[in-house]
């Protein structure tokens, strides 16, 4: 099978697409024919050895996928032939065949294509964990989403709508504004302007960007507001003077989905069911941006690096992943 391999930790250009043996599934794993794989920031960081999870090269890159189950353990709730969306925590998704833990795979709702399914598991579970569990977002509250046209950003818009919030997106260009609106944002403001005044006070902020705008985000919170930290695509990790949290009874909260998911498999299933409800209600409809064949994984990662991602960037393995 073809697979995208990390050979050395010098960035996306060093990736190699090679023919290797198909992997074999263990007793609690599914073997999946991959139709599409999701491309995410952690993979970009992994190609440089900068991600918290360190895997020794050579290895097959890729953390999430959608495809058709080829083999499943006896007694599994998922059977051969099922369409699934799955998380591959230790890589392996950028390949024609992958192995995933059985508890990290869920049936792909019929309404979603494989490419949508490739951008579904990590981003939508992260958005749900961050907004519903960590920030306790309530119906009727205002949610502000930074990086609102990106992978986690579009997911946060849709999960926020599914939870009954009014959603304001923050983006850096006209094209990204169109994507955030199409994803479901009620309002969109521009990051280069006075976005805080344009947005008004907000109850919850979903922040995958960090960096310089973090200070303004803290100021943008209404009394008892919550800022949930997702990542730092801008590159710098901000800090906060905690006296500012006291004055207005505001909170800065971390949301690290991967660590939590590993310790709480039953919670994953609960969220999968709630997301299915949101798909059926029309709130969740993953936004697929650029799509590349497997061979062009390095170009896909360069898009993320160059801030050109719109919605989720995906790789497909066949002619038509559908």
Ligand X SMILES: NC(=O)c1ccc[n+]([C@@H]2O[C@H](COP(=O)([O-])OP(=O)(O)OC[C@H]3O[C@@H](n4cnc5c(N)ncnc54)[C@H](OP(=O)(O)O)[C@@H]3O)[C@@H](O)[C@H]2O)c1
Q: How many chain residues bind ligand X (CB under 6 A)?
A: 30
Shortest spacing between CB 239 and ligand X, in angstroms? 17
**Interface with ligand X (CB under 6 A), residue from 15, 108, 304, 314:** 304
Q: How far is CA 108 from the centre of its chain?
A: 16
Strand order in the sheet with 221-229: 187-190, 166-171, 142-145, 202-207, 221-229, 251-254
Q: Which is nearer to ligand X, 69 or 202 (CB)?
A: 202
Q: Which helix (H) or strand (E) holds 125?
A: helix 121-128
Site for ligand X in 223-242 (CB under 6 A): 230-235
Q: Which is nearer to ligand X, 118 or 171 (CB)?
A: 171
Q: Which is nearer to ligand X, 206 or 316 (CB)?
A: 206
Q: Is 51 left (phi over 0), alpha (psi -120 to 50) or beta?
A: beta
Shortest spacing between CB 311 and ligand X, in angstroms? 8
**Interface with ligand X (CB under 6 A), residue from 92, 162, 208, 238:** 208
Q: How far is CA 180 from the centre of its chain?
A: 15
Q: What is the DSSP letter of 95?
A: B
- Give the CA distances from residue 208 to residues 148, 217, 316, in Å, rounded to whole numbers and listed in that order: 9, 12, 26
**Interface with ligand X (CB under 6 A), residue from 25, 40, 95, 199:** 40
Q: Which residue has the tokens 């409809």?
A: 285
DSSP track, 36-62 = EEEE-HHHHHHHTT-SSS--PSSEE--
CB environment 155-183: b (16+ within 10 A), e (fewer): bbbbbbbbbebbbbbbbeeeebbebbbeb
Sole window of 69-77, 110-118, 147-155, 293-301 interacting with ligand X (rule: CB under 6 A):
147-155
Q: Which is nearer to ligand X, 172 or 251 (CB)?
A: 172
Q: How far is CA 277 from the centre of its chain?
A: 19
Shortest spacing between CB 233 and ligand X, in angstroms? 4
CA pair distance 306, 41, nearest whole angstrom: 11
> Is 150 a binder of ligand X (CB under 6 A)?
yes
CA pair distance 221, 251, nearest whole angstrom: 9
Classified as helix, coil or strand, 145 is strand
Q: Which helix (H) or strand (E) holds 107?
A: strand 105-107
Shortest spacing between CB 173 and ligand X, in angstroms? 7
Site for ligand X in 59-118 (CB under 6 A): none
**Interface with ligand X (CB under 6 A), residue from 15, 118, 122, 297:** 122
Q: Which is nearer to ligand X, 69 or 86 (CB)?
A: 86
Give me the 166-205 binding string for ligand X, x by CB under 6 A, dash otherwise. Answer: -----xx---x--------------x--------------
> Is 41 a binder of ligand X (CB under 6 A)?
yes
**Interface with ligand X (CB under 6 A), residue from 62, 63, 92, 151:** 151
> Is 152 a binder of ligand X (CB under 6 A)?
yes
**Interface with ligand X (CB under 6 A), residue from 90, 197, 307, 322:** 307
Sole window of 65-73, 110-118, 236-244, 304-312 interacting with ligand X (rule: CB under 6 A):
304-312
Residues in touch with ligand X (CB under 6 A): 40-42, 122, 126, 147, 149-153, 171-172, 176, 191, 208-209, 230-235, 255-258, 304, 307, 309
């Amino acid at each position: 099978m073809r697979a995208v391999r990390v050979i050395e930790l010098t960035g996306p250009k060093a990736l190699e697409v090679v023919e290797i043996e198909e992997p074999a599934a263990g007793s609690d794993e599914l073997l999946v024919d991959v139709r599409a794989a999701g491309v995410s920031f952690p993979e970009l960081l992994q190609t440089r050895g900068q991600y918290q999870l360190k895997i020794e090269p050579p290895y097959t890159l890729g953390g999430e996928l959608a495809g058709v189950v080829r083999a499943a353990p006896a007694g599994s709730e998922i059977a051969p032939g099922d369409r699934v969306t799955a998380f591959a925590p230790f890589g392996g998704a950028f390949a024609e065949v992958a192995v995933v833990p059985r508890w990290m795979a869920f049936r792909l709702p019929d309404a979603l294509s494989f490419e949508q399914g490739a951008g579904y598991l990590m981003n939508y579970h992260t958005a749900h964990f961050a907004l519903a569990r960590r920030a306790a977002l309530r119906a009727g509250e205002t949610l502000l989403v930074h990086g609102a046209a990106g992978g986690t950003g579009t997911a946060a818009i849709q999960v926020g709508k599914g939870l009954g919030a009014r959603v304001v997106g923050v983006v850096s260009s006209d094209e990204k504004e169109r994507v955030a609106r199409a994803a479901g944002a009620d309002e969109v403001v521009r990051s280069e302007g006075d976005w805080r005044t344009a947005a008004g006070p907000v109850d919850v902020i979903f922040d995958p960007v960090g960096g310089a705008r973090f200070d303004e985000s803290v100021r943008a919170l209404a009394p008892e507001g919550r800022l949930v930290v997702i990542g730092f695509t801008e590159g710098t990790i901000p800090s906060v003077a905690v006296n500012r949290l006291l004055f207005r009874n505001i909170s800065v909260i971390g949301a690290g989905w991967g660590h939590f998911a590993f310790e709480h498999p039953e919670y994953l299933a609960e969220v999968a069911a709630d997301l299915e409800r949101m798909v059926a209600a029309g709130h969740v409809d993953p936004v697929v941006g650029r799509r590349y064949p497997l061979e062009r994984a390095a170009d896909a990662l360069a898009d993320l690096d160059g801030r050109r991602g719109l919605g989720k960037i995906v790789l497909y393995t066949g002619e038509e992943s559908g």
